[in-house]
Structure 1
Amino acid sequence: MENLDKISPLKKLDKSTLISLEKGKLPPQVLEMEEAVLGAMMIDTKGVDEVIDILVPQAFYKEAHQTIYEAIVSLFQDGAPIDILSVSERLRKMGKLDRVGGDLYLIELTQRISSSAHIEYHSRIILQKFIQRSLIRISSEIIEEAYDEATDVFDLLDKAEARLYDVAQGNTKRSEETAQSLVNQAKAVIESKGKEGVDIGIKTGFTELDNLTSGWQPSDLIIVAARPGMGKTAFVLSMARNIAIQYGKAVAFFSLEMSSVQLITRLISAETGLSSEKLRKGDLEEHEWTQLTNKVSDLEQSKIFIDDTPSLSIFDLRAKARRLKSKHDISIIIIDYLQLMTAGGNNKGGGNREQEISTISRNLKALAKELNIPVIALSQLSRAVETRGPSKRPLLSDLRESGAIEQDADIVSFIYRPEYYKIDTWDDEEETPTQGQAEFIVAKHRNGGLDNIRLKFIGSQGKFDNLDSTGIDLNELPSRMNDDSSPFPSPFNPPSANEAFGSSMNHFNDDNDVPF
């Protein structure tokens, strides 16, 4: 390597090139195709449209070709025409025309090809060679760091997986973006949101929550916190079911507390309407077995991936998440729950717990940004909630190790069920009953508003659902309709209307079905 460094032209080459030359091999490259692609882009605008989303400047092996491509991309972003004259002028403004060989070299590039035919095929070969060079560079860096005794092996493993994941996603080198580029990206997102049927966020299936957040947004870290017994796991399971079955998205569920079989049993309970207790005991009647068999088909076909590895470290989580994203294109990650995770690496088995939680929450936010998907982490609350009275509604200060979690999270929310604390009515003007109801409290929302959203909670099935806007459980409508105190006035004769509704209900009951 020392002899190579003495040769001045090689000093500008990257490490992968030097290693390849030291071993008597040229780095992977296709200069002829690079010339053909650049020449085609300057003689046919259609060629630019086909290549611009495939290649980055670094994909070209020759430095002059990188510079020419940068000029073409710059013209494309400005909406300017792209031909040999405009490229020459842009390079002149950049002060790099002579560096690439002047106008003469640009003319030579356009003379090497007559059309942009096969330009996409050629550009993908250039990309393949770039990936090969990237793998050589990354491998050499990993080997060098692995020989360093001071290197933390867990940090190195995480970095290695992250670098390889970037290569797989075509994001080997991320550079700063101009304001113009970012404005165009933002406008595209805003425009797509305005189109009917296009959802940028991940819908939860809870109508009021989706209206407030427009769905969980890509790269957001969402904290769902509550005291034990409030239904944190039930809430995210209900949400996972809606995302996977109702909207057809892939969900990754990391459970550090419950086994995968326990979780899927709870999902079966919610999907079939059979109580969790009956499923645990296997105490089902014949028609319930039929109900179980018929109603789990959607769940069986859903893309819910459950990992129940105990004491999962943040490094293991990131590695597993990357693989799931590459293999199954997961749309959201759910972690149950944050305080059961470990930081791994040098923090394993020691260090301040608050610092460890800070490391975990910071890495969860980084993971959400890296994969560009929302990450939901459940969290415990301190016992301060229990001593508060008369209302037990949680606050941001109740979060365990709240400083780091609150700072890193884009959304912090709480689940509150007054019924758990023997509180019979809500603290509102109507004093509506709390039975079978819960409140989803959005206490921090970095990019939106705050609200307290009431949901229906079905304890026997471990399930959350939308609450009717009147605050009445839809499952109770038949009995409420037969009640003289029914809040639904009708222009028809009440007795005959009730009788008609009751007869239709009997028809459903005879078939062992549920109308709502």
Structure 2
Amino acid sequence: MADAARKYEEEAALYREAPNNIEAEQALLGAILVNNDAYYLVHDFLKGDHFFEPLHREIFSKTSEMIRMGKVATPVTIKTFLNATDRVGDITVAQYLGRLAAAATTIINTADYGRAIYDLALRRSLIRIGEDMVNIAFDAPLDMEPKSQIEDAERRLFELAETGRYDGGFQSFQDALSLAIEMAGAAKDRDGGLSGVSSGIMGIDRQMGGLQPSDLIILAGRPAMGKTSLATNIAFNIAAAYEPADQSDGTFKAKNGGVVAFFSLEMSAEQLATRIISEQSEVSSSKIRRGNINDTEFAKLVACTEMMQRVPLYIDQTGGISIAQLAARARRLKRQRGLDVMVIDYVQLMQGSSKASAQNRVQEITEITTGLKALAKELNVPIIALSQLSRQVEARDDKRPQLADLRESGSIEQDADVVMFVYRDEYYLKGKEPKPGTDDHLKWEAEMNEARGKAEVIVAKQRHGPTGTIRLAFQAEYTRFTDLADDAYLPERFD
């Protein structure tokens, strides 16, 4: 008897209908056809694809299109845009539209109907993802690792949670225009009038308009130029300026600053924190490491640390992380804490996810940079990825980097929206000191005084703006980059 009951339940499960509520769909459509204002109660979250019945999808899509164009949508005006030969049971589509409107009595419950339809659509999407997981797990090829399936499922679930859909597809130009206007309005209201996230360094913000969402920004340079220092400065500036703003759905969005994820593949979290503490407290990082600090300096460190504990800066110190692992952790952080900017230090220490790319370094870097650009678009956040330069820079008289100096430059240069180089003339001049007392030494001394404490950030590529050189001040003892004071604003000097 028990076996028969179990067999009946298994057979019933095979024929279960996907969750839906046709009556709620009919009530919502009827309310909109009677009073077009009802559409504006659900238009910000409900799309035609969320309806279970195909005819209802078409009716909602045509109706919403007409209302957005400023026209009146009624059973009479909408029927000409639907297939007149289609039938719903024993009646025509035109008659069905009339019945929907006749059955509607009020728009009071429109938002509730819309939310019920939306939630059921999400449940159907969850069922599809679950079915795909089961089918792939049963029929997975030998070269497909289980962790890659987990990462794919996590990606689809994240996209479903963030946007209500995971299948991508076309977006209307009207929706794109609305997003562009929203961005312009946000830039107008944001401190500094930037369309992107402020880096905290005015020179960079002026050149780039802030760090733009979905951009892959490559920050490159030779060792000892200060790549990590600049990236750390920017990351902390953004996190320290974080100012959340309430959204209508109860979530938070950054009005200024943002939540930052820092993937440190080279340094430990403790080393990174030491750099930031040194920068903020103005106590030399070398003195902190050696313990060569007095009571006053230690008190400054403690006070600075207490202030910094509230900063939304999250550090992942996993060495040799793969692009798939990085993407999974970034999605998780965005879902749990929010995410506005990502920093990766640095690209050449990452690993690809496929076995084929692991055998060819150029292919592996291509997979990584392509994956980072895709992740920036998916999460809609700027990603700052640090990169090493090849040694050919050292062979030239002019040591300023060029795009061709990027290691595996083909994919890095192609996938990046912005490529910036960090260059400090002071570093190279130090190694060229002539014999003291000579004319060459006097000339060298003058050049050294001019270059001391200064750095250049060379914007060699920018898809949405001009290229050029940004001059910054660099305090090596604190590993800190700041804006360079303009001579026009300095007090008058006399010889």
| TM-score calculated relative to the size of structure 1 | 0.82
Which residue, out of 231, 240, 245, partners 1:236?
231
Shift of 1:192: 4.5
Asked if residue 201 in structure 1 is aligned to residue 213 in structure 2, the reply is: no
Q: Cα gap change, 1:97/1:367 in structure 2, threshold over 3 Å: closer, same or farther?
A: farther
**Counterpart amino acid of residue 114 in structure 2:** S
Which secondary structure state, in structure 2, belongs to the residue aligned with residue 296 of structure 1? Answer: helix
**Which aligned pairs between 1:427-466 and structure 2 lie closer than 5 A?**
433-466=450-483
Match of 1:176 in 2: 170
Return the alpha-carbon distance in structure 2 between the equivalents of residues 452 and 20 of structure 1. 70
Give the equivalent residue in structure 1 for 2:156: 163
Please give the alpha-carbon distance, in whole angstroms, between the structure 1 residues aligned to 2:424 and 2:418: 20
CA distance in 1, matches of 2:443, 2:327: 41
1:48 pairs with 2:34? no
Instruction: Return the match for 2:259 from 233, 250, 262.
Output: 250
Residues 156-182 of structure 1 deviation map (CA, whole Å, 9 limit, x = unaligned): 333212211111011333321233443
1:75–1:81 contact (8 Å) kept in structure 2: yes
Out of 350, 363, 381, the residue aligned to residue 341 of structure 1 is 350
Alignment-mate amino acid for residue 413 of structure 1: M
Q: CA deviation at 1:136?
A: 0.8
Which residue of the partner structure matches residue 429 of structure 2? 422
Q: Percent identity among equivalent residues?
A: 37
Q: How many Å apart are 1:37 and its aligned residue?
A: 1.2
Runs of at least 5 residues in structure 2 that lack an aligned partner in the other structure: 1-9, 242-255, 434-441
Cα displacement (A) at 1:327: 1.2
Q: Is the 8 A contact 1:59 1:126 kept in 2?
A: yes
CA offsets, 1:239-294, max 9 Å, x none? 01111113441000001000011101111111111110121123322222221222
- Is the Cα contact below 8 Å between 1:226 and 1:380 reproduced in 2? yes
- Determine the C-alpha separation between the residues in 2 that align with 1:370 and 1:63: 28
**Residue type at the aligned position of 1:62:** E
Q: Separation in 2 of the partners of 1:376 and 1:305?
A: 15
Question: Could you say if the C-alpha distance between residues 432 and 103 of structure 1 is closer, same or farther in structure 2, counting changes exceeding 3 Å?
Answer: farther
357-366 or 31-40: bigger deviation:
31-40
The alpha-carbon deviation at position 457 of structure 1 amounts to 0.7
1:326 and 2:335 matched: yes
Correspondence 1:146-157 to 2 at 5 A:
146-150=137-141, 152-153=144-145, 154-157=147-150
Deviation at 1:345, TM superposition (A): 3.1
Shift of residue 392, structure 1, vs aligned partner: 0.7
**8 Å CA contact retained: 2:429, 2:448:** no
Out of 241, 246, 266, which is 2:275 matched to? 266
Q: Which amino acid aligns with 2:112?
A: Y
Within-5 A mapping of 1:37-436: 37-91=28-82, 95=83, 98=86, 101-150=92-141, 152-153=144-145, 154-169=147-162, 170-194=164-188, 197=191, 199-246=194-241, 247-347=256-356, 350-389=358-397, 391-422=398-429, 433-436=450-453
Question: What is the rounded CA distance, in whole Å, between the counterparts of 2:133 and 2:401 in structure 1?
Answer: 47
Alpha carbons 2:263, 2:316 under 8 Å: kept: yes
Paired with 2:55 and 2:201, the residues of 1 have a C-alpha distance of: 54
Report the CA distance between 1:20 and its aligned residue: 9.8
Instruction: Please say which of residues 333-342 and 51-60 is displaced more in the overlay.
Output: 51-60
2:36–2:67 CA contact under 8 A, matched in 1 = no
Contact 1:64 1:99 in 2 (8 A): no
Q: Higher mean Cα deviation, 176-185 or 41-50?
A: 176-185
1:20–1:26 CA contact under 8 A, matched in 2: no
**1:173-224: per-residue Cα shift (whole Å, max 9, x none)?**
3321233443343344345444574643011011121011111111110000
Alpha-carbon distance change, 227 to 314 in structure 1, aligned in 2, over 3 angstroms: same
- CA deviation after TM superposition for structure 1 residue 122, in Å: 2.0
Retained in 2: the 8 A contact 1:426–1:433?
no
State whether residues 366 and 412 of structure 2, in contact with CA within 8 Å, keep that contact through their aligned partners in structure 1.
yes
Report the AA paired with residue 387 of structure 1: A
**1:483-502, aligned counterparts within 5 Å?**
484-485=494-495
Provide the C-alpha distance between the structure 2 equivalents of 1:20 and 1:75, rounded to a whole number of angstroms: 45
Mapped partners of 2:356, 2:302: distance in 1:
47
Helix, strand or coil for the counterpart of 2:213? coil
CA displacement at 1:426 relative to structure 2: 12
For residue 168 of structure 2, what is the amino acid of its counterpart?
R
What letter matches 1:456 in structure 2? A
Q: 1:466 to 1:99 in 2, by over 3 A?
A: farther
Judge conservation of contact 2:259–2:313 (CA < 8 Å) in 1: yes
- Rounded Cα–Cα distance in structure 2 between residues aligned with 1:360 and 1:471: 44
Post-superposition offset of 1:57: 1.4
Aligned CA distance change for structure 1 residues 432 and 183 (closer, same or farther; 3 Å): farther
Greater displacement, 450-459 / 152-161: 152-161
State the match for 1:14 in structure 2: none
- 1:318 counterpart letter in structure 2: A
Contact 2:203 2:472 in 1 (8 A): no
Q: Which runs of 5+ in 1 are unaligned?
A: 1-18, 486-516
The letter of the residue matching 1:172 is Y
Q: Deviations over 1:283-334 (max 9, x none)?
A: 3222222212222333111100100011100000010011111111110110
Cα 1:385–1:73 change in 2 (3 A) is same
Q: Relative to 1, partners in 2 of residues 1:288 and 1:86: Cα closer, same or farther, differing over 3 Å? A: same
Measured in 2, the distance between the counterparts of 1:20 and 1:42 equals 41
The answer on whether the counterparts of 2:188 and 2:194 sit within 8 Å (CA) in structure 1 is no
Look up the equivalent residue of 2:361 and give its one-letter code. R
